[in-house]
Amino acid sequence: MNTRSGSHFIAALISVGANLALAQQAPPAPMPAPPDTKIETDNLAPGIYMLTGRGGNIGLTVGPDGAAIIDDQFADMVPKIRAAVALLAEKPVRFVINTHLHGDHTGGNDAFSAGGAVIIAQENVRKRLGSPQVNPSNNQTLPARAREALPVITFADSATLHFNDDDLEFTHLPKAHTETDIVVRFRKANVVHMGDLFVGGFPFIDGNTGGTLDGYILAHEKVLASIDDNTKLIRGHGPVGNKAELQAFHDMLVVVRDRVARLVKSGKTQEQVVAARPTKEFEQQYGGANFDAQQWLGRAYVDQKRALEMHRRK
């Protein structure tokens, strides 16, 4: 398929839940990768892989239709991602699916799109990448991303990519890690890329881009209802997981959220909530991977205080 006929082909290939936006390609921008970061490749099912490097874990499908990836880490990782894909696929990446807007999952968009790939994401990814955003790691304002980094096919609630003899089902889970999150389910292979809705420790809830702890927990409930004990779950960060591990992660968050909510309702301050250690029995398993329990509780307090105020306003 050449890139000119691509948009027609894709329009036919994808059944899109809502709107369809198409844009032009841009010239390539080669970037050196840090010499110390390697891409590790794990085979999860026939033709389906997880690539781990620096940034969010990548899902990869290769087969008769070519290659598609879910998330693309950082710009400087693109040559290494391409090299890892080239070991398994004869042709370059045709589709990039973004699980959400964060730069450690979308940083390679510019280069992949310049190389001819079509970027697909929930419509809020395009909205947010196309305007200045707060960098969640240091609260500084990031400028809008270049035009070629923006998804060209977007949808509101769901879409399906029929590719390599499987159906890749994209489902939007609103107000969870951000307001842009999707999970990607390989219906036949029974593999799900969870994006940052499943990570190895206490999860980051990005309130600046519409994330909420309550929505994060609801997202798990939707996913748990659609998978089984054999489903392989690609975490946004961390090792491949399964349903029991997602259930345990979800149950932990429900317990902690309910405790924090109760403390917030009774008028406790942030310091008092942190001091009460509502994360106590979970700190060994979930602490430290992203946040220590104190940092995370500070954020959970702010989240639940906001949730309470929203509830009272209704």
Query: Which residues of the chain form contacts with Zn ion (CB under 5 A)?
Result: 102, 196
Q: Which is nearer to Zn ion, 163 or 296 (CB)?
A: 296
Q: Tell the smallest beta-carbon distance from residue 240 to Zn ion (Å).
A: 18
Q: Which is nearer to Zn ion, 123 or 206 (CB)?
A: 206
Coil, helix or strand at residue 169? strand
Q: Which is nearer to Zn ion, 177 or 185 (CB)?
A: 177
Output the six-digit token pair for 98: 């973004």
Q: Tell the smallest beta-carbon distance from residue 103 to Zn ion (Å).
A: 9
Distance CA 156, CA 100 (A): 13
Q: Tell the smallest beta-carbon distance from residue 43 to Zn ion (Å).
A: 25
Q: Tell the smallest beta-carbon distance from residue 102 to Zn ion (Å).
A: 4
Q: Which is nearer to Zn ion, 152 or 176 (CB)?
A: 176
Q: Tell the smallest beta-carbon distance from residue 120 to Zn ion (Å).
A: 17
Residue 90 DSSP symbol? S
Q: Which is nearer to Zn ion, 123 or 181 (CB)?
A: 181
Task: Decide: 173 and 182 in contact? Cβ < 8 Å.
Answer: yes
230 CB burial (10 A radius; 0-12, 13-18, 19+): exposed
Radius of gyration of the chain (CA): 19
Which stretches of the chain are assigned E, i.e. beta strand? 14-16, 40-45, 48-52, 58-63, 66-70, 93-97, 118-122, 133-134, 141-142, 153-155, 158-163, 166-172, 182-186, 191-193, 232-234
At 81, the amino acid letter reads I
Task: Decide: 103 and 182 in contact? Cβ < 8 Å.
Answer: no
Q: Tell the smallest beta-carbon distance from residue 126 to Zn ion (Å).
A: 16
Q: Which is nearer to Zn ion, 164 or 212 (CB)?
A: 212
Q: Which is nearer to Zn ion, 179 or 196 (CB)?
A: 196
Q: Tell the smallest beta-carbon distance from residue 100 to Zn ion (Å).
A: 6
Distance CA 122, CA 162 (A): 17
Residue found by looking up tokens 């029991």 in the block: 244
Relative to beta strand 93-97, strand 66-70 is: parallel
